[in-house]
Amino acid sequence: MHGTSIIELYVFVLAGFVGFQIITKVPALLHTPLMSATNAISAISLVGSLVAAGSDQNRVATWLGFVAVTAATINVVGGFLITDRMLKMFRHGGKPGAPAGRPGASPPPPSTAGGRP
């Protein structure tokens, strides 16, 4: 291995360790926004893998680029599907006659407009 390869491997392992430590300390309330941010990062990696696949260096680079494009596409699509499913958990059912507030909240008090109780 060359000196640069060892440094790149060190940075990769360190980034993986730091990322794992950060992700495990995220509160449950922030998981949905975090998923949206990671979907954006995955989209950036999709662009990079498209560049790698289209660089036409040799057959191995093209095949690895194809595998990277496939994996990044699955990651982006799956991430958006999971994020959408998580956001649906916070939406209201939309039942007719249900109050517009939080689920399980009591209905608003009756209006006393017009002098009638």
Residue 58 lies in a domain: yes
- Per the domain annotation, does 85 fall within a domain? yes
Asked, for residue 82, whether it belongs to a domain, the answer is: yes
Instruction: Give me the number of domains the chain comprises.
Output: 1
Residue 92, classed as helix, strand or coil, is: coil
Residue 94 in domain: no
> Angle formed by the axes of helices 31-53 and 59-88, to 10°?
160
Per-residue model confidence as pLDDT tens digits over 7-65: 888 988 999 899 888 878 877 777 667 777 777 777 888 888 888 888 878 888 888 88
Burial of 73 (0-12, 13-18, 19+ CB in 10 A): middle
Which residue do the tokens 């990277």 mark?
Answer: 68
Place of tokens 């309330």: 29
In a domain, 55, yes or no: yes
pLDDT tens digit string along 59-110?
A: 888 888 888 889 888 888 888 888 788 778 777 665 555 555 555 555 556 6
Tokens (6 digits) for 36: 């949206």
Residue 81 CB coordination number (10 Å): 10
